[in-house]
Structure 1
């Protein structure tokens, strides 16, 4: 908050002079937190669950103490339990709690974390920080202005979110319309449609991963979170572009598709080629649909939470499916790519609008609480 040109009527102060108290919440055991209850339990990043007792009543500003998101700010009103992972700041009577919460968010308190291994922040880092404070009536005017302006932005973001959801439902409907009907289709099994490949891996090639969104590509092409890293490369197998790659533990959730890369993958995958009378892309889409619709979950045992085990090839090979004539397979793949590419483009555009709106929201809040926008002038102009 240094180096800013703020209105002359604003005074320089410290965070500790804006609050009656600032201290960590009270410890609570995991067993005492329920999925439903009378009072919300706030932790390092918002609500953790519910409990039958409370520690606070009224309006308070909560600051996350620990974890990757330490320093995040929540304005809480009512009766609740604040855990030891949250700092509870109670504003003075002449300090607008909405303005204070906005100010603390803009200050990016997480930058004052004292540990890299387990990020954390305490009262000692926050209380002495310098801030610029407008008079109480201007604090309220700033808070009112931000309430109005951010509500409009949030409404636009919500509309875009609803639009994205409708587009995703339309995308799903394309697969539903193709894969649910049985008329004009023949019964088959995975064994009758796929040939299992067992290539030797080429040393030095990257690792290929099947993601739950149906993309199969080199791990280097995607960020590393969202899947389990293998401890070693023992038993790895080669993968070529055009191979159907099925994750034997995550395939039930959609981790299957056509590889776009040459590389290698772990033995938890089945790497396959389609037989001559089957379109490989159609079959990959069908198997993925069978997974995401829940059918594959009924065809194999569950070995761990949210996982279905198809590592045994015989188990996977006997999975039943229905196929239309090859001409229909070919035409559907073309139609599917045309329709979903248009939908994906609309989704990407909507997501871009959301990102820009959120950037504008953040910039607006920052400019307002630091005095770069005169809210009284801004209101008259609008």
Structure 2
């Protein structure tokens, strides 16, 4: 059951003029989460793989340590890097690394409500740096927040626990469906690329005229979507065999580079490095370009010979046989975890039929995977909409736009 409520206009900046219930108060984060502090650095001596205390950093659970510095219910906030501002509600005993900020709810604040509130505030936007995002306790403490009465905090948390669990379950189901579609896609690719006795077995370097590699400039946040602007591709621009031109960062105006590393349609690009071993070596062909882009130093561009069809080469670099070789190359590269050495890539065993057969197989795979890709895009769009719905629901509840006091 919902109720009509009197509203009062708030001056809290991030609420952008939204009115909050008149019986709510305005406060600062430092009062609802006193004593906020950064975690501690983890040394080799503090790590024990068989330990019992989870280590939390900006990206959540990272490992185990034989030391613990915190216990009870706390809120962990990502302090720096790509996950700056991420919020995790944790309980029990744990170690907070130097990449996390520990927030302890006040005696009058419900921890679950506070975690939801901090999450929708998008704390990462208050970072003072662009190249390596980072946020400090002083920045978070100074932010104003709307605070409902204690009983309503619990009601909001109960409501959101229930409703977000439903949405999360739906998202997980769709994610499993997406993974099944990716597995089906991989099976189609592997079946079409199963080598016949008439195919030539050779090292990758023998079907190439060369391999290019880009540079690693100090790029800016945002896209190169203005006239004359250039961008540098990220390593993840070819994840899972699909080229995504929007995966780049804008280059500073006036940045000079060798025109030879400019990206063009038809280029075959391979990812050299990734935070995930499963994505190292990802490869795709550049289908279209909406921006002017260059290669980064974490990308290779393969130059196929005239006897090698570019599309067939790209499909071959998405086969199971290729992935097995990538995993072996990564595990065998001393000091280069999650990096694909160029020497290993050049030596990968490949199988090629005649040029005419390459073109026929590539056309077949283009057609068959297009149908699967359409299903994947539809599913991912559904997931994105569900996440937007989740975020909007949390925002409405913690700002009093929906009254959950009488909701069973």
- TM norm structure 2: 0.70
Deviations 1:57-111 (A, max 9, x none): 1111223344454433221110011234433222233321101111122233334
Q: Report 1:324-363 matches (<5 A).
A: 329-363=358-392
Deviations 1:252-293 (A, max 9, x none): 924364787899989975523343xx7653354235537633
Deviation at 1:334? 3.1
Conserved 8 A contact 1:197-1:272 = yes
2:29 paired with 1:15: yes
Tell me the SS of whatever aligns to 1:307. Answer: coil
Tell me the SS of whatever aligns to 1:375. Answer: coil
For 1:159, the equivalent position in structure 2 comes to 173
Structure 1 unaligned residues grouped into runs of 5+: 199-203, 226-230
Conserved 8 A contact 1:252-1:294 = no
Structure 2 unaligned residues grouped into runs of 5+: 1-9, 212-227, 250-255, 274-278
Conserved 8 A contact 2:312-2:362 = yes
2:286 paired with 1:273: no
Deviation at 1:140? 1.1
**Alpha-carbon distance between aligned partners in 1 of 2:142 and 2:302, rounded to the nearest angstrom:** 59
Residue of 272, 275, 294 corresponding to 2:324: 294
For 2:312, the equivalent position in structure 1 comes to 282
**How many aligned positions are there?**
356
Deviations 1:124-166 (A, max 9, x none): 3333543332222211111110011101111111111111100
Deviation at 1:216? 7.5
Conserved 8 A contact 2:39-2:98 = yes
2:284 paired with 1:233: no
Conserved 8 A contact 2:79-2:99 = yes
Conserved 8 A contact 2:36-2:101 = yes
Conserved 8 A contact 1:212-1:255 = yes
2:73 paired with 1:43: no
Flag the 1:44–1:308 CA change in 2: closer, same or farther, 3 A. Answer: closer
Residue of 262, 276, 281 corresponding to 1:253: 281
For 1:228, the equivalent position in structure 2 comes to none
Greater Cα radius of gyration, structure 1 or 2: 1
2:111 paired with 1:97: yes
**Alpha-carbon distance between aligned partners in 2 of 1:48 and 1:252, rounded to the nearest angstrom:** 20
Tell me the SS of whatever aligns to 1:364. Answer: helix
Flag the 1:238–1:290 CA change in 2: closer, same or farther, 3 A. Answer: farther
Tell me the SS of whatever aligns to 1:147. Answer: helix
2:156 paired with 1:126: no
For 2:37, the equivalent position in structure 1 comes to 24
**Alpha-carbon distance between aligned partners in 2 of 1:65 and 1:197, rounded to the nearest angstrom:** 42
Tell me the SS of whatever aligns to 1:81. Answer: strand
Flag the 1:253–1:97 CA change in 2: closer, same or farther, 3 A. Answer: same
Tell me the SS of whatever aligns to 1:54. Answer: coil
Residue of 142, 147, 159 corresponding to 1:145: 159
Conserved 8 A contact 2:116-2:394 = yes
